[in-house]
Amino acid sequence: MGLTLVSISCLTSAGYTVLFHENLSKIFNEKKMMMGEIPVDKGLYCIRGPKRPFAGVMNAKEALTMRDVHTRFSHIAPNSIKCRLKDGIITGIALDPSELTLDKCDSCEYAKATQKAIGKKFGDEVHMDLWGPSPVQTPGHKEYFVSFTDDHT
């Protein structure tokens, strides 16, 4: 089954009213005429439609590697590819039986990287901050402050 997401803010901005009651979402137009109902399914209000095969792969002739399919389908997870092939959502391609796994995708790794790894031992990475001159001197007539922070500790 296909799945359609509905933006409630777009509906209300367009003048529609949405009522949530008894596991149904009802959509009304400006004249208070009901335009549709969306039932709750597993905790989500979903509009379900028929399965449709992805376009552009209907005439594939050769078996593709998991990496090829993963790349062509916008880097979706290999398990999702296998499930969609099994369920008939993706049609017209065959996976090379010798290449059913995907060890690592550099593009996916890069996209998921949000920060550098934290140092594993003392001194791996140290940050220094220098502040000053201070508007008020210390009793020892110092005007600057330096701090060192080790990522590991």
pLDDT tens for the 153 residues of the chain, in order: 455 667 888 888 889 999 998 888 898 989 998 888 888 888 887 776 655 554 444 555 578 888 888 888 888 888 888 888 888 877 778 888 888 888 888 888 877 766 666 667 887 888 899 998 989 988 989 999 999 888 776
Q: What per-residue confidence (pLDDT) applies to 143?
A: 92
**Cβ pair 39, 23 in contact under 8 A:** yes
Q: What per-residue confidence (pLDDT) applies to 126?
A: 86
For 151, counting Cβ atoms within 10 Å of its Cβ (0-12 exposed, 13-18 middle, 19+ buried), the class is middle
Q: What per-residue confidence (pLDDT) applies to 110?
A: 79
Q: How far is residue 142 from each of residues 57, 61, 130, measured CA to CA in Å?
A: 71, 77, 13
* Domain residue ranges of the chain, discontinuous segments joined by +: 2-49, 63-112, 118-153
Q: What per-residue confidence (pLDDT) applies to 11?
A: 85
For 60, counting Cβ atoms within 10 Å of its Cβ (0-12 exposed, 13-18 middle, 19+ buried), the class is middle
Q: What per-residue confidence (pLDDT) applies to 119?
A: 67
Q: What per-residue confidence (pLDDT) applies to 19?
A: 92
Would the pTM of this model clear 0.75, i.e. be above it?
Answer: no
Q: What per-residue confidence (pLDDT) applies to 1?
A: 45
Q: What per-residue confidence (pLDDT) applies to 53?
A: 52
